[in-house]
Chain A
């Protein structure tokens, strides 16, 4: 079965640079989520989109922005990167009312800021 696809899987950026992560949700899923997971932590919710509209916002820094496009793929843009932004970033998707609203995760994108 198709899963959530994230790219790139790894990237290294310098402080103050910009990074963009891409996500392709499971086909027909109507909600996309972005999570950030630091070392030894549980995933922290950043932002979500329902049918291409922002639906919920968590602890996303103002330096970060995200959007969902007409083809349902989503991008997380991170600017003025800081060392503390180094983390594993998950994209996830779900279908409202489907499979108990289960959220399925991609394999994650590792961001290292140096």
Chain B
């Protein structure tokens, strides 16, 4: 069975600085997707970024980028120029590409605090 581990329950960063959130996963599959979701205090679940395992290029969305290391089964999220609105719980998630009905496997989340 697949597992996702986020080893940092909480992280804090100064506004405008860069922070990296860690995520590791375990799977025997070769084809899968990885996601970072953001859940602000409103509790809405917002997709931040997506990575296809077959793509070697790291995904980037504006100030958000990932460091995807497939061999190491690592998928970290880097947030550049942190803003107050980035304060949220960040969840790393895994989804199999080998069965389209597979649901997301979630990490426990990392609470990100932005210091003004």
Interface residues of A (CB under 8 A from B): 31, 33, 37, 42-43, 45, 48, 50, 55-56, 58, 88, 90, 92, 96-97, 99-105, 107-108, 110
Contacts and interface: CB of A to CB of B under 8 A. Distances in A.
Chain B interface size, under 10 / 10 to 19 / 20 to 34 / 35 or more: 20 to 34
A58 B106 CA distance: 14
Interface string B55-86: 00000000000000000000000000000000
Given A43-B45, A56-B101, 17 more contacts: A31-B101, A33-B103, A42-B106, A42-B108, A43-B104, A48-B103, A56-B102, A96-B100, A99-B50, A100-B50, A100-B52, A100-B97, A102-B35, A103-B35, A103-B103, A107-B44, A108-B44
Interface of B: 33, 35, 37, 42-47, 50, 52, 91, 95, 97, 100-104, 106-109
